[in-house]
Amino acid sequence: MDETTAPRRIAVLGGAGGIGRSLVAQLQAQGDDIVVLDLAASLERHSLDVKGIAIDVCNEKSVTSAFTDLGRHWSKIDGFVNLAGYNSVLQPLADMSDTYFDEITNGNLRGAFLTAKAALPLMADGGSVVMISSGLASNVRPGYGAYSVSKAGVIAMTKVFALENAPRVRFNAVAPGLVDTAFLRGGTGRSAEDDEAIVNLEAYRAATPMQRVAQPEDVVGPIEFLLSEASSFMTGQVLWVNGGGYMP
């Protein structure tokens, strides 16, 4: 970062998770100021050298309180990244309870709506919002029905937000394939985090042209790009990050 340029103020929702911790470290190394919003249990388990704000995206009052706190800390933010998301079990849609379907879509889609809506009044002119979707939003697989539905909704919502807020604020999405984090074990702050993965990582690796499973750092680069001036003419776009396993 140029010494004459003020540090960017970037809020990272889900910043205590696997990808989030890598992203926060990289942004800090570049000289950015960071605030992490995450579940209280996640903030407690993964202590970060930044201001942390507890939030539960499934609870509208919690979202309102968290972003009120953020607004007290910063009057404006230059970037907002939403990494929050989870999926606990693999189950056919026909066997899935409406309770579980609602839980996953509320956490991944309604939560993304509530937090993006809350972030917008704080966004500085020229700011960038990066939503995290998933390759499963389009490249659907058995067992991921509720998750796929919610992440497909995130892509559609990103595009609508992009149209409705251009040119003041840009909205883009990153859609990763499997990333080897606690997400594959139930989610940061929602599971033991070190259990067996709910998917067969060896089979996934063998089916991926790049012959490996993504690590958090593989997703950090695309997020950084969408936050930066290098992507200043991009809005409403999706970057697919999957080692060649899905080529839309």
Question: What's the whole-number mean pLDDT along residues 5-13?
Answer: 95
Angle at 35 between CA 4 and CA 179, to 5 degrees: 110
Contact 74, 9 (CB under 8 A): yes
**5: pLDDT confidence band, cut at 50, 70 and 90?**
confident
d(CA 234, CA 26): 22
Query: What does pLDDT average to over the chain?
Result: 92
The DSSP secondary-structure symbol of 238 reads E
**205: pLDDT confidence band, cut at 50, 70 and 90?**
confident
Question: What's the whole-number mean pLDDT along residues 110-133?
Answer: 98
Spatial neighbors of 107 by CB under 8 A, at least 6 apart, are: 57, 58, 84, 85, 86, 150
Does the pLDDT value for residue 4 go beyond 60?
Answer: no
Of the candidates 2, 209, 9, the residue with the CA atom closest to the CA atom of residue 119: 9
Question: What's the whole-number mean pLDDT along residues 221-227?
Answer: 98
Percent of the chain with pLDDT strictly greater than 90: 81
Q: What are the tens digits of pLDDT across the range 142-185?
A: 999 999 999 999 999 999 999 999 999 999 999 999 998 766 65
d(CA 196, CA 147): 19
Question: What's the whole-number mean pLDDT along residues 29-58?
Answer: 95
As assigned by CATH, the class of the 9-241 domain is alpha beta
Does the pLDDT value for residue 2 go beyond 80?
Answer: no
Q: What are the tens digits of pLDDT across the range 89-109?
A: 899 999 999 999 999 999 999
d(CA 179, CA 242): 9
Does the pLDDT value for residue 136 go beyond 50?
Answer: yes
Could you give the angle at which helices 111-119 and 60-73 cross, rounded to 10 degrees? Answer: 30
CA 101 to chain centroid: 20
Q: Where are the domains of the chain?
A: 9-241
d(CA 57, CA 36): 13
**187: pLDDT confidence band, cut at 50, 70 and 90?**
very low
Does the pLDDT value for residue 191 go beyond 50?
Answer: no
Burial class (CB in 10 A: 0-12, 13-18, 19+), 147: buried
Does pTM top 0.85 for this prediction? yes
pLDDT (0 to 100) of residue 41: 93
